[in-house]
Amino acid sequence: MISTECSSRLFTLDLQLKLILNSNSSFLFCTGSLSQSQLAAAAAVGASSTTTSPNTALRKKYLDLIEYGNKHYETTTQNLYQLRKTILLEGLPPETEEEIEDRRKDSPRCSLRGLVWKILLGIKECDAEKYIELLKLGSSDQYQKIRKDISRTFMKDALFCQAVSQDKLSRCLNAFVHMTSEIKSNLNYVQGMNAICGAFLYVLPELDAFYCFQQLVLHYCHLYLVPKISGVHTALNILDTILEFVDPELYGYLKTRSYDPVLLTHAILSLGTSTPPLGELLHLWDFYFAFGIHLNVICTIAQLLLMRDTLLAHPSPCSLFRSLPELDSETIINLSIHIVRQLPDDLYDLLVDHPIADISSQDEFV
């Protein structure tokens, strides 16, 4: 695997994302608030760049990158840069029939997406013996909460329900609770972990999914999932600031209609898992893991901007936040890129740090 170390940020990706964008003219540059024409352009741009490579050629490109990374640890930074650039410009190819069959049969083999996620999250090894030890501890003190939540995890997605049993999800979540107790972490089970863990189990074999879930929660968004979800509250404050910055007209209208960013808690806390379809969510996660969980905030704003006309015409627009429109990952990502390019550096730095660093004292924006 391409190795990488966890750092105070998910990666030094604010710079990498901007470097990639600046070197590719297919992503339109704009400043100031997004106009309707720019919104339309954001929704349209990128379609050609994500469909130019046949699936087989694109798959080979990823496998070659992974193989090269396995053999050349001395160029890890460059390897990761190329991997992230490919994700941004071309996306991951559709699953093969073999990968779909592997998931149906609960195969221990990783799909291409699974391999890429493990690389991006910095998973170097998965300790099967340790996982078995955690499973032997049985039900955790959070078992009743977990049991209640897993029964409604992606319950309307037939493919998920076929691939991920409630027993498997229960094992992973209870093992996670035992693990946090062992390391004396301030984390515990909170509602929302069930769907995040479930998405990993849909993509990866159980052992790999457990370690990816643990890595994400402990190192890349732990303030989202501490008991008081302080990172989520910070994210909502930043979302509020950015929404006003990129679309003051929409923001002003919402403020006259009982708008409170807290109404979007579910979208932030769930990392998008509260909005179907699951297949589109996985593409968003490719983007998040490549460039940072903080982009969850930007993608949520992009979803609001895509609802702009509907929200402005609705007498109670905030009621629509309870159930956001179905995900369209390509459009959301393209629009998110436009938003990122507008943000002042100090605001973007706060955005990058908020899932893992306490920035509550920096109240200029939050």
Structural domains for the chain: 19-49+123-366 (1.10.472.80)
Percent of the chain with pLDDT over 70: 83
The whole-number pLDDT of residue 351 equals 95
- The mean per-residue pLDDT over the stretch 230-259 comes to 96
pLDDT band of residue 82 (cuts 50, 70, 90) is: very high
The whole-number pLDDT of residue 5 equals 34
- The mean per-residue pLDDT over the stretch 86-100 comes to 94
- The mean per-residue pLDDT over the stretch 327-331 comes to 97
- The mean per-residue pLDDT over the stretch 14-27 comes to 50
- The mean per-residue pLDDT over the stretch 38-57 comes to 52
- The mean per-residue pLDDT over the stretch 73-97 comes to 92
Residue 11 confidence (pLDDT) above 60: no
pLDDT band of residue 364 (cuts 50, 70, 90) is: low
**Contact yes or no for 321/260 (Cβ under 8 A):** no
Residue 20 confidence (pLDDT) above 60: no
Residue 24 confidence (pLDDT) above 80: no
pLDDT tens string 267-295 = 999 999 999 999 999 999 999 999 999 99
**Contact yes or no for 108/152 (Cβ under 8 A):** no
Residue 68 confidence (pLDDT) above 60: yes
Residue 52 confidence (pLDDT) above 80: no
**Contact yes or no for 204/196 (Cβ under 8 A):** no
Least confident interval from 69-83, 169-183, 325-339: 69-83
The whole-number pLDDT of residue 2 equals 34
Q: Of 290, 271, 291, nearest to 281 (Cα)?
A: 271
The crossing angle, in degrees rounded to 10, of helices 278-291 and 76-90 is: 150
pLDDT band of residue 15 (cuts 50, 70, 90) is: low
pLDDT tens string 150-201 = 999 999 999 999 999 999 999 999 999 999 999 988 888 999 999 999 999 9
First to last CA, the chain: 38
pLDDT band of residue 17 (cuts 50, 70, 90) is: low
pLDDT band of residue 54 (cuts 50, 70, 90) is: low
Residue 360 confidence (pLDDT) above 70: no
Indicate the average pLDDT of the chain: 86
